[in-house]
């Protein structure tokens, strides 16, 4: 077995940054989380509306009485709906992160 020297308190890497340690627990993060959830719901509603508005049904009747039905898809609206859905998902993920930081992050106890 190889006996390697162990670092002492003065040799720790990376070195401690000067100044007070950053606080993760900030109560305003709860408000940010609520705002992000509201924005995510609005983005989801917008995505739903755009998705359903991007399809147009075209019905044509011929002279012999046949009914022809086709669907026209508008790519710009579909792309916008996908984009808004992605934004809504990212907002929800960040809202959960903000909520956990507001509730669970605690101060480190000072080292003796």
pLDDT tens digit sequence for 44-79: 999 999 999 999 999 999 999 999 999 999 999 999
Whole-angstrom Cα distance, residue 13 to residue 6? 12
Is the pTM here over 0.75, yes or no?
no
8 has pLDDT over 90 = no
CA 17 to chain centre: 31
What are the extents of the domains in the chain? 40-105
Q: In terms of pLDDT, which residue wins out, 36 or 106?
A: 36
Q: What is the pLDDT of residue 64?
A: 93
Tokens linked to 42: 């609005």
Q: What is the pLDDT of residue 49?
A: 97
Q: Rounded mean pLDDT of the chain?
A: 86
Burial string for 88-100 (b: 16+ CB within 10 Å, else e) reads beebbeebeebbe
């Amino acid at each position: 077995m190889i006996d390697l020297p162990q670092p002492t308190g003065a040799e720790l890497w990376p070195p401690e940054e000067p100044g007070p340690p950053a606080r993760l627990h900030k109560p305003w993060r709860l408000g940010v989380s609520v705002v992000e959830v509201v924005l995510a719901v609005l983005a989801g509603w917008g995505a739903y509306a755009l998705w359903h508005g991007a399809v147009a049904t075209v019905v044509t009747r011929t002279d012999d009485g046949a009914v022809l039905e086709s669907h026209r898809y508008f790519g710009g609206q579909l792309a916008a709906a996908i984009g808004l859905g992605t934004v809504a998902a990212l907002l929800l993920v960040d809202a959960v992160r903000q909520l956990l930081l507001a509730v669970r992050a605690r101060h480190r106890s000072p080292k003796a």
